[in-house]
Structure 1
């Protein structure tokens, strides 16, 4: 497959406000601001190769997100510091039924859930973001699909509960699929974008992604230069134009 991950996109009522929150929390920077998006970018030393893209939407958040970020910490003191920083910036503590766990579940100013993890050796080289975590009815199936369209490889399994992908460089966050039987009811507010390389045939790339299990979503209609598809568990994602 000749596509790669390029963005993690978050719907927002106030994109600049949300971008500022995440830039300050992660120690990253706002790299671009347009009427239809605000981009946050990590420094090269972090290992995160995607842009965090915040786009304006009129709809309010209704349900727990199926995709969320897990933040890495290096010590217990660092974990506490990240939690305190998030709260000072406008985040809040949330209860999603996690019970007594060593990580801390928070939400950003628009209610998007994220976790601040306790120190774990697995994420020691991940940078600020340990993982992009995706709820999945069948983690193995979904991980296999995303491995094919990102070029990342399956590098961890925890029984039939969690399957993790990692970039071949061994740097940056994991992309992990966690078993969760919740039923999807609304369009995801967080999604991934992939793109073929510069000079590639966009239509051919879309057709190839569809051939391995994606389905057309057609959100926004045919006038968009990119194509909106869904993965085998109905999570929206975009195949952007070649770049």
Structure 2
């Protein structure tokens, strides 16, 4: 079962503080856990997994609040889109979704975990994560697939393009809890690492 997200952090305490406050503690029951990695994020490398936060009715104020917490503006080539792209204090991209964004079921906190998936891998990835996460397809579109734990869950797992090139270990990884089996690091159908715990 999908139970959390692991985030590599050079300064674990600072990143824990940032993400607790950035999400306002609203994570849909998922645990965000920062761990010390072997090396910092490579400059210019976009993560294959990122988080989407709800901007709420006053999304501009929410963006200012996140910038005050230590976020910075990020340009990943997104162009003119109905969301704002920021980066956490260690350069990990995340999005602040504006009101009316499809699939958003909350006014604040974490609302989506976005996993880059190439179109040719989308069905295999969706099947893989439906079985591992025990979340189910809530929506299927030309742009990708949205999974939810239940139809009313405020957080979704969204899989779709564009797929960033894989350049080393992913700094953000899904965490799956199992009753049986060995804990450790594994890879999904597209080569993305995920963490298994008991």
Instruction: Note whether the superposition's TM-score is higher than 0.5.
Output: yes
In 2: Cα distance, 1:111 partner to 1:229 partner: 24
Tell me, yes or no, if structure 1 residue 175 matches structure 2 residue 157. Answer: yes
TM-score (normalizing by structure 1): 0.75
**Structure 1 residue ranges without an equivalent (≥5):** 29-41, 204-225
3-state secondary structure, aligned to 1:157: strand
Deviations 1:207-239 (Å, cap 9, x if unpaired)? Answer: xxxxxxxxxxxxxxxxxxx22110010000122
Q: Could you tell me whether the CA contact under 8 Å between 1:156 and 1:164 is conserved in 2?
A: yes
**Structure 2 residue ranges without an equivalent (≥5):** none
In 1: Cα distance, 2:124 partner to 2:107 partner: 24
Q: Which has the higher contact order (CA 8 A, sep 6+)?
A: 2
The corresponding residue for 1:149 is: 132
CA RMSD after TM alignment: 1.7
Tell me, yes or no, if structure 1 residue 202 matches structure 2 residue 185. Answer: no
3-state secondary structure, aligned to 2:140: strand
Pairs within 5 Å for 1:204-219:
none
Deviations 1:172-212 (Å, cap 9, x if unpaired)? Answer: 30000011243212100000111123xxx325xxxxxxxxx
Pairs within 5 Å for 1:55-94:
55-62=35-42, 63-75=45-57, 77=58, 79-94=59-74
Q: How much has 1:60 moved relative to structure 2?
A: 1.1
In structure 2, which of residues 81, 87, 91 is the aligned counterpart of residue 101 of structure 1? Answer: 81
Q: How much has 1:170 moved relative to structure 2?
A: 2.1
Q: Could you tell me whether the CA contact under 8 Å between 1:10 and 1:53 is conserved in 2?
A: yes
TM-score (normalizing by structure 2): 0.91
Q: Could you tell me whether the CA contact under 8 Å between 2:48 and 2:116 is conserved in 1?
A: yes
In 1: Cα distance, 2:102 partner to 2:151 partner: 18
Please tell me whether Structure 1 or Structure 2 has the larger radius of gyration of its CA atoms. Answer: 1
Q: Could you tell me whether the CA contact under 8 Å between 1:132 and 1:176 is conserved in 2?
A: yes
Q: Could you tell me whether the CA contact under 8 Å between 1:69 and 1:133 is conserved in 2?
A: yes
Structure 1 segments (4+ residues) deviating >3 Å:
none
Pairs within 5 Å for 1:116-127:
116-119=96-99, 120=101, 122-125=103-106
